[in-house]
Amino acid sequence: MRTRVIQLGEDCVAEAAAAFVGELVQDAGLPTSKAYWLRLAVEEITTNIARHGYRGHGLVRLTSEISQDRVWVRIEDEAPQFDPQSHDPARQLQTAPAEREAGGFGLLLALRKLDGFCYERLDGQNRNTLTMFRPRVRTDASEVDGVPDGNKQRADRR
């Protein structure tokens, strides 16, 4: 398990979050697309915590773990309660693009691309847990896609 505490107002939250997730996804061997969406979601949530939750200064704790079938990142903060899943961009979508303010769709895009998301409010803290499934790892080097190498050619013909 790895942990990083970001001091908002001193650290650049997006860069710190991206670096944290970058190391994680590399160690986990996530495909590029999954790595991209996990990084985007973590950046989006931490940036929103800084901008809308704390409005500048505060602490955000990032914790992560790699297991056999998944990678997760937990984001915890003491800002006012906010469940990212409750954000509804419907009002913005009803406004013509030229007339609406920029932004407001990052959470929608990022959360839909995750394999799992959970929000909890515990002991005065927001806790967001983001999950991505890892590709299957071969346990036997002589097998490809669960078929022994000697039978691979025959299996492909079926």
Residue 29: CATH number of its domain: 3.30.565.10
The mean predicted confidence, pLDDT, of the chain is: 84
Does 3 have pLDDT greater than 90? yes
With cut-offs at 50, 70 and 90, classify the pLDDT of residue 153: very low
Domain that holds residue 142: 2-157
Domain count along the chain: 1
Q: How far is CA 154 from CA 11, 50, 138, 147, in A?
A: 56, 57, 20, 10
Does 154 have pLDDT greater than 50? no
**Cα R_g (the chain), whole angstroms:** 19
pLDDT score of 144: 47
